[in-house]
Amino acid sequence: MTRPAVVILGPSALATGKRVADAIDGELHGFAPRVPGCAVTFTDAAAHLRSLFAAGRPIVGLCAAGVLIRALAPVLADKRQEPPVIAVAEGGGAVVPLLGGHHGANALARRIAAALDGAAAITTAGEGRFGLALDEPPTGWRLGNPEAAKSFMADLLAGEALAIENETGVDAGWLSPLPTNPDAKGRIRITLQPGKSETDLLLHPAVVAIGVGCERLAPAAELIALAETCLAEAGLSALSVACVVSLDLKAAEPAVHALARHLAVPARFFDAARLERETPRLATPSDLVFRETGCHGVAEGAALAAAGPEGRLLLAKRRGARSTCAIAVSPGIILADEVGKARGRLAIVGLGPGRAEGRTAEADAALAAAGDWVGYRLYLDLLSPLSAGKTIHGFDLGAEEARVTHALDLAAEGRNVALVSSGDAGIYAMASLVFELIERGGRADWARVEIAGLPGVSAMQVAAAKAGAPLGHDFCAISLSDLLTPWTAIERRLKAAADADFVVALYNPVSQRRKSQLARAREILLAARGPQTPVVVGRNLGRANESLQVITLATLEAENLDMLSVVLIGASSTRRLARPDGGDWVYTPRGYGDKPAREAL
């Protein structure tokens, strides 16, 4: 479940809200005019609640149930897609799941009530009577005909019994609270076989592992077709598949992940040593495969490893043009998260200027999903309100290569990792170093990690937005740091930018040991544009002690600037406009005023 948002509308609910957040690893969201100290703040409560709901975030509101109902009423549609929504009394005495009861709200309400010594008002009839819901079976069980579950539950609530027929031998003890009668009209059939039923409720336990192998960049359609053919040959429903498994060398193969998505199950991977231990149980061991991979069978070995020591090979390896497939079955539910390892994921996250409001929703989602956060300690400190339950890997300033190497190592282990940068990670930050280290070939498995770059708001964008629109026409960005780039190259770029009349964003303008470069940059730009050219100087943007000044190019000095500053130097066309409330706007026109009037369409 995505991390719950604990929404607090008034100061009297803050103490209870903090207890709730601690109990469920929730994120505090506070109404800005009244509730300070929350990780996320908002000014329009109804809009904020609707955005959380649309994003699938569980909502715990410390407010009257009516507030949540009125706010969310316009966006309610499909009950199968709704996230949990829970109302909690300010004193904690009542906890009411309003929506998503079968999607985690009831369980979440019980956890909250236990933490607050309150009462959870469970109103979903099935869970209230029997402690289970047929339309929301536990992990590892799938419904073959979910549309029938509601009528079966209604019959049970009306006092009727059900017959349960288990064709699989898989333990179905979770159904034991239901009243049963072998002669009852309604029947729950537990099966691995495909098919439909007009009269029975079909339940499929996830006990099947599909092992696959493929050549590099084998077509996804071929592997999917081969797997479906194998399932049909074995007489198995796709709903009984727990996972798609293979050798870790195949962790980045698109076809393997396409098959997993097609079956709506996880893809998991084993190293060669683990698969080699399955050799005595293989139906078709191959010395050729051993020479190429270090194990005598990929598809069969992976399927058996996933099915466990009591599992059996149900379908030996079948070959396609460029892929292989085998099927094993376990006597019990296969928990995919405990099988092999996932393909690791590295999210390169730009935090924006620093405050929560400056982060994108995509960045927040990646941070919530990642179990490990890696970054410069200062940047990780900015995220401390969100860090509950995360493993934090903090590094000192200057240890860029060490922190990226560590992040890649963690992801290569199959973990979900967030590599954190301020601003945009792809602008003078960590993203380029990730790919540089992969290209250097530090570890072969780094290249198999899934990498997602998530943009952030860069310092030049924040400064420009606060100042007006100085980047309204062509611009460039140049870093004055010569730690990684020779000064001769930086100076050449400054001259080119001056000659081209770009607006210039200067990053890393000065440091404790480096003061003269800014003066040289000013000198180069003054040779091409006037001394009154507007300059925007921003420091600590989006953080405490933020400052923004509008000065001229002639008065630009290194004093009071540092590595947390950004400088925007206007082009010859950049304008400075007095604001009626004091201060100045700075903007660079695109030339609209010079164009002839256009006829109305």
Amino acid at 440: R
- CA-based Rg of the chain, rounded to a whole angstrom? 30
Same domain, 436 and 495: no
Q: Is residue 556 part of a domain?
A: yes
Report the number of secondary-structure helices (H) and strands (E) in the chain.
18, 29
Same domain, 484 and 540: yes
Q: Is residue 191 part of a domain?
A: yes
E strands of 9-69, at which residues? 27-31, 40-42, 59-62
Q: Final residue of a domain: which of 429, 457, 485?
A: 457
Residue 278 CA to residue 329 CA, distance in Å, equals 15
Residue 37 has pLDDT above 90, yes or no: no
What is the share, in percent, of the chain residues with pLDDT greater than 90? 63
Same domain, 103 and 12: yes
**pLDDT band (50, 70, 90) for residue 126:** low
Closest CA to 349 of 254, 492, 509, 456: 456
**pLDDT band (50, 70, 90) for residue 600:** very low
Q: Is residue 172 part of a domain?
A: yes
- When the pLDDT of each residue in the chain is averaged and rounded to a whole number, the result is 90
Residue 577 CA to residue 587 CA, distance in Å, equals 8
Q: What is the pLDDT of residue 593?
A: 65
Residues 6+ apart with CB under 8 A from 580: none
Q: Is residue 465 part of a domain?
A: yes
Same domain, 115 and 150: no
Same domain, 354 and 334: no
Q: What is the pLDDT of residue 230?
A: 98
DSSP state for residue 235 in the 8-state scheme: T
Cα torsion through 523, 527, 531, 536, rounded to 10: -60
Same domain, 101 and 220: no
CATH of residue 98: 3.40.50.11220
Same domain, 330 and 351: no
Same domain, 325 and 363: no
Residue 2 has pLDDT above 80, yes or no: no
Amino acid at 426: G
Same domain, 328 and 353: no
**pLDDT band (50, 70, 90) for residue 441:** confident
Q: Residue 174's beta-bridge partner residues?
A: none
How many Cβ atoms are within 10 Å of 488's Cβ, its own excluded? 9
Residue 317 has pLDDT above 70, yes or no: yes
CATH of residue 260: 3.30.420.180
Residue 583 CA to residue 601 CA, distance in Å, equals 39
Q: How far is CA 311 from each of CA 142, 304, 385, rounded to the nearest angstrom?
A: 20, 6, 45
CATH of residue 399: 3.40.1010.10
- Pairwise pLDDT comparison (547 vs 570), residue with the higher score: 570
**pLDDT band (50, 70, 90) for residue 297:** very high
Residues 6+ apart with CB under 8 A from 306: 209, 211, 242, 243, 245, 268, 328, 330, 334, 339, 340
Summarised one tens digit per residue, pLDDT across range 357-370 is 788 888 888 988 89
Residue 113 has pLDDT above 60, yes or no: yes
Q: Is residue 62 part of a domain?
A: yes
CATH of residue 491: 3.30.950.10
**Mean pLDDT, range 314-318, rounded to an integer:** 97
Give yes or no for a contact between 434 and 345, defined as CB atoms under 8 angstroms apart.
no
Residues 6+ apart with CB under 8 A from 309: none
Residue 130 has pLDDT above 90, yes or no: no
**Mean pLDDT, range 180-185, rounded to an integer:** 87
Closest CA to 224 of 186, 192, 267, 185: 267
Q: What is the pLDDT of residue 131?
A: 63
Q: Final residue of a domain: which of 279, 304, 338?
A: 338
Q: Is residue 20 part of a domain?
A: yes
Q: Is residue 119 part of a domain?
A: yes
Q: What is the dihedral sign for C-alpha 246, 415, 23, 544? A: negative
Strand order in the sheet with 27-31: 40-42, 27-31, 5-8, 59-62, 85-88, 94-99, 119-120
Same domain, 378 and 465: no
What is the share, in percent, of the chain residues with pLDDT greater than 70? 95
Residue 498 CA to residue 521 CA, distance in Å, equals 10
DSSP state for residue 196 in the 8-state scheme: -
Q: Which segment of 60-69, 95-104, 107-116, 344-353 scores lowest on mean pLDDT?
A: 95-104
How many Cβ atoms are within 10 Å of 538's Cβ, its own excluded? 23
Q: Is residue 134 part of a domain?
A: no
**Mean pLDDT, range 378-392, rounded to an integer:** 81
Q: What are residue 330's phi and psi, to 5 degrees?
A: -105, 150
Same domain, 163 and 221: no
Cα torsion through 486, 491, 493, 494, rounded to 10: 140
Give the range of the structural domain holding residue 174, as residue numbers without chain letter.
141-205
**Mean pLDDT, range 555-582, rounded to an integer:** 90
Amino acid at 407: A
Summarised one tens digit per residue, pLDDT across range 38-60 is 888 888 899 889 888 877 789 99
Same domain, 312 and 358: no
Q: How far is CA 277 from each of CA 31, 367, 390, rounded to the nearest angstrom?
A: 57, 37, 34
Residues 6+ apart with CB under 8 A from 581: none
Q: Which segment of 179-183, 212-216, 248-252, 321-325 scores lowest on mean pLDDT?
A: 179-183
Q: Final residue of a domain: which of 457, 479, 508?
A: 457
Q: Which segment of 83-97, 131-145, 330-344 scores lowest on mean pLDDT?
A: 131-145
- Pairwise pLDDT comparison (78 vs 52), residue with the higher score: 52
- Pairwise pLDDT comparison (120 vs 144), residue with the higher score: 144
Q: What is the pLDDT of residue 148?
A: 82
Report the number of distinct structural domains present in the chain. 5
Residue 598 has pLDDT above 50, yes or no: no
Please state whether the predicted TM-score (pTM) of the whole model is above 0.95: no
